[in-house]
Chains A and B, each alone.
Chain A
Amino acid sequence: GAVVSQHPSRVICKSGTSVKIECRSLDFQATTMFWYRQFPKQSLMLMATSNEGSKATYEQGVEKDKFLINHASLTLSTLTVTSAHPEDSSFYICSARERGGGKGYTEAFFGQGTRLTVV
């Protein structure tokens, strides 16, 4: 299957600093990528939809100025957590879907996730 690479897998930062997480589709072009957040023992919660060449669409309750998303190319989307606080500590996962034939879309592939700890 297609591969989505997410980096870094683990990061620890100090309160007030910013952290950038990268998500790359390695062997396919992803016009749309999705960013999720997962709390311990909880399911994935969609944060935003990232569209190549345009502004991201954020879910209700997600601060767009805090979670900056950039989708500069068909294979790269980044999530920057700005002025991080301890409550931002979480597991962040990106996803991209490979476009199938015609109008269809195939399965979604996920990155390995990034464990962010803000101290």
Chain B
Amino acid sequence: KQEVTQIPAALSVPEGENLVLNCSFTDSAIYNLQWFRQDPGKGLTSLLLIQSSQREQTSGRLNASLDKSSGRSTLYIAASQPGDSATYLCAAAFRGNTPLVFGKGTRLSVIA
């Protein structure tokens, strides 16, 4: 069964810290992986997409890496801000046009 796991489930950090969110997946034959942000009661905002042929993607203070051999992806957030507080979801596509399999998310709180 293809599964996506995220740890930790919740994380609280002081403003300004760099932090890493972890995601692991059970099937190394991954097609692509996406990181999303979800604010309470809202939909999903796509942050970064990593294709299976890529090792990392960067957008502003965000950097996502992908290691297929170990079945892991990380989302690095530099210089965290209170506005970064949200739930971060990792999701994998294991074949081309198939639905994403989601992890349970990491709830991030950045304290001012």
Contact = CB atoms under 8 A, between A and B. Distances in A.
Given A43-B104, A95-B99, A110 B43 contact: yes
Interface residues of A, number: 27
B76 interface: no
A54 interface: no
* A interface majority secondary structure: strand
Nearest to B105: A43
Contacts of B99: 34, 46, 49, 95
Given A34-B99, A103-B96, A110 B41 contact: no
Interface in A61-119: 91, 93, 95, 97, 99, 103-113, 115
A6 B97 contact: no
Interface in B27-67: 31-32, 34, 36, 41-46, 49, 51
Contacts of A11: none
Interface of A: 1, 6, 31-32, 34, 42-44, 46, 49, 91, 93, 95, 97, 99, 103-113, 115
Interface of B: 31-32, 34, 36, 41-46, 49, 51, 89, 91, 93, 96-97, 99-105
